[in-house]
Structure 1
Amino acid sequence: MKKILLFLLSGSIIAGINAQEQLPDFSVYKVGNNRVVVAWTHNYQGVKQISIQRSTDSLNYFKTVGTMPDPSLQQNGFPDATAPSDNMFYRIFVMFEGGKYISTKSKRPVVDSSGLADAYNSGNKSNTEVNLNPNFIPSGFVQSAYIFASTDRYVRVELPLDKRKYDIKFYAENGQPLFELNDIKEKRFKLDRSYFSTAGYINFELYADGRLLEKHKVFLPKDF
């Protein structure tokens, strides 16, 4: 059984995304091929929802393009790979418990100088090798809200914030067991890429109090 190192999702330990602004301000970066990363931190209490909105106009016609699975995370980001261009306007909508909400001012993306572009494009060695891009996700594949590959090159785990006992079993694509995490104490942490011995799909089973909560998989590109 491998010894697994868990990286808590707090403070400056999240590598490569240290340039995030704090809400109601936020950062928007161009990362190539019309792709954009929206990044932020916050110290709000009682956050019920955080959504990312996009428009061609700085004030009107905003549409939601993503909603975060766990808005309580203080440091987070959203990769937008579906924008018609990297010159759109973005804003963040935050709803609090009790119905109160705020909407940030809109921003256009700027050229990345924080290292996020490297995290997204380090594998993109030529125009014909786009599948090596660490942000590449196969068409039609929807990542789990609990266990997924993140932009900072870790496998990220975000468990429900309740009192249930959680266990995770990881398997290679051929079904061979890789490792297990049992009676997990931390609900937010990251797994280093080196603990997964292969690229491609990594299957997992997530259990809550001994019952199967989710059976899904994570996709790890070759240069992840």
Structure 2
Amino acid sequence: MMHPQRLLFRLCPTLLLLFISLAGSAQDTLPAFSAEIKSKNRIIISWTNPYGTKIKQLSIQRSRDSSRLFKTIISIPDPTVLKNGFVDQNLPDTNFYYRVYIMLDGGDYAFSQVRKARSLPPPPKHEPVTRKPEPPAKVEPIKQEPVQKPKPVEPEKPKLPLPQPEKYLVIKKGDEIVGELNERFLQRFRDSVSMRTKDTILLTSRDTLLIKPFQPKEVYGVSKYVFIDKAGLVHIELPWYARRKYIVKFFEEDRSPLFEIKEVRDAVLLLDKANFMQAGWYLFEIYEDGKLLEKNKLFVGKDF
């Protein structure tokens, strides 16, 4: 493994100049970052990204100790944003240390220096600027318009009976209204309305149709593209990586986004368990040239 400092200077030769120019700002330039205490249980982690789209993963890790027992608390969904941050809140206190895990193109990675959260001094107070009173606005006199004579009232014409409007049924999908349907076209769907088959339309009242799509139960098998070995490393093996573009997305078990690899450039890509915040099931999706290649899940054990 390449030394972190040599890796960062090889990938970004102007990093030292960027760090000196931004040292006085609230957001430090990666691999440096700021950890500012905002209240007794809230800390803001912020940074500036000098790597552009070369950065593929950025994870924030936290520890009570300044040298060990670091755990990943979040992997940023889009690490390529120029200026970004994360609010670590609902903490018992603010006595924590932080560091940042950075992974770039080709699988090279590095950890930042450890930084303890600290409070910044309050900004200087500015005296209010007093303004001179403005002169009162001139009021223009109201012009009186000439009085118009009322127009003679014409007798009302007899009203013809209005044609009966066509009746429309409301189409709902769950609690959302998605459209309307003329009552004359309801006969086309009489099978799904009367027989209550697996079709998508149910008649819930005299003027409301409910769409209930049939959703088959998802079945998962063993993936030949994403799996975990005995050493605890997650393998991503895509043999056609040189000819096709692959995107790999990881999700929590409740389908909330975890992190994303936007481009795979190696036949075998290894991920450390530190990218997964805890043991359990994780969902993933593999896209090949924009099309879904596989949708599956992966179990990460407790032996971190």
Asked if TM exceeds 0.5, the reply is no
Is the strand fraction higher in 1 or 2?
A: 1
Larger RCO (alpha carbons 8 Å, 6+ apart): 1
Q: Whose radius of gyration is greater, 1 or 2? A: 2
Is the helix fraction higher in 1 or 2?
A: 2
TM-score bracket, shorter-length normalisation: 0.3 to 0.5
